[in-house]
Amino acid sequence: MKKIFLSIVLLLSVSISWSQRSQIIAYIDMEYILENVPEYLEAQNTLDEKVVKWRQTLDKEARHIEVLKSDLANEKAILTKDLIEEKEEEIALKQDELRRLESLYFGPKGDMFLLRKQLVKPIQDQVYNAIQSISARKKYDFVFDKSSDLVMLYSNKKYDISDLVLGTIDRTRLVDQKNAKKEERKNAPNELTTQQKEAIAKKEAIVAKKLSEKEAKKKALENRRNELLKKREEKRELLRKKKEALKKKKEDQKKEQEKKDENNN
């Protein structure tokens, strides 16, 4: 219903404007354009490879948690209450870590969002710039996206400017490559300017900061895990000493009883 409503509103708007002057309308197929832009396909492949690796990491952690749960279920009958609580706490800690890692990868501002923005946005900008250039040159009043939510009940192929957009992107790419080579040859013998050095230093500082933050989080998690393991070991040692003391007490009582029996005989 929403799509139909938008289509009706659009048609009414165009019809009203048509009475004032002729409107020049064109459309594109964004999916078709992106599928034919090599940079987009390369960016998408890079993103897909990262997603596969992230999924593998999450699956590995999830399987490890399932193993811990299974081990606890199998050993529960022979474990003390304290040991059961420790293992349950360790599992809960692993589950929290898994949720945090999943959010880090696929959250609203996670690695996937940032990487997609970094890889895809420049390509989308190329497409929009090409559309604006063609629209200004051919004086289009409206350019619609055929692959969007807007319902196009009929579209004449002669108003499809998708190939024009691709041609503009290709020409822009060639020009940029030529200019880049000229600039590279021009600046090759020269040292980096102060501004370039500052920009490089700034990028390196940002990367170093991110690495430091990740390392700090990793270290904090490791410290927490070590603390948990230490507490568990202390409890086990305490339990062992209690068992040994109880065993020794029983042995002493047994020896005392044996002495009494010998005296009575």
pLDDT of residue 54: 94
pLDDT of residue 190: 54
Q: What is the per-residue pLDDT for 154?
A: 63
Domain-by-domain residue ranges, the chain? Answer: 2-190, 201-265
Residue 97 has a pLDDT of 94
CA 225 to each of CA 28, 73, 93, 215, 240: distance values in angstroms, whole numbers, following the listed order: 55, 22, 8, 15, 22
Residue 77: predicted pLDDT: 87
Distances (CA, A) of 175 to 25, 41, 171, 182, 183: 29, 21, 6, 11, 12
CB count in 10 Å sphere of residue 13:
12
Interatomic CA distance for residues 258 and 255, integer angstroms = 5
Contact between 2 and 119 under an 8 Å Cβ cutoff? The reply is no
Write down the residue that tokens 């706490």 correspond to.
89
Choose among 246, 235, 225, 243: nearest CA to 90: 225
CA angle 100, 102, 107 (to 5 degrees): 95
**Residue segments in the chain with a per-residue pLDDT below the cut of 50:** 1-20
pLDDT in tens, 143-184: 888 877 666 656 677 778 888 888 888 888 888 788 877 777
pLDDT at position 231 is 87
Q: What residues pair up with 143 in beta bridges, in sequence order?
A: 26
Is 22 in a helix, a strand, or coil?
Answer: coil
